[in-house]
């Protein structure tokens, strides 16, 4: 399983199990190469169709974490 697939699986499982408070534990996945556009599309499908992002992989992790804090608590 490549890193993009791991992150997609993480996002889907986080949603399924309402595990947003624990998302930070997987931040190292966002420090390796992955298809940012595909991960953003997955986040849009699972959480927020209006979510927009441009930047690095780690910046995407930070943006998702911020979205969770703002919208889920």
CA 68 to chain centre: 10
- Cα-based distances in Å from 5 to 29, 69, 70: 10, 24, 26
pTM: 0.94
pLDDT tens digit sequence for 35-63: 999 999 999 999 999 999 999 999 999 99
DSSP string across 9-53: HHHHHHHHTT-GGGGGGGGGGGGS---HHHHHHHHHHHT-TT---
Domain ranges of the chain: 3-12+23-71
Q: Judge contact between 67 and 51, C-beta under 8 A.
A: yes
Distance CA 46, CA 43 (A): 5
């Amino acid at each position: 399983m490549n890193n993009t697939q791991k992150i997609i699986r993480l996002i889907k499982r986080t949603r399924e199990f309402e595990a947003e408070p624990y998302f930070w534990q997987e931040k190292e996945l966002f420090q390796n190469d992955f298809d940012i556009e595909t991960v953003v599309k997955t986040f849009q499908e699972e959480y927020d169709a209006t979510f927009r992002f441009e930047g690095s992989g780690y910046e995407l992790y930070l943006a998702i974490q911020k979205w969770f804090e703002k919208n889920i608590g």
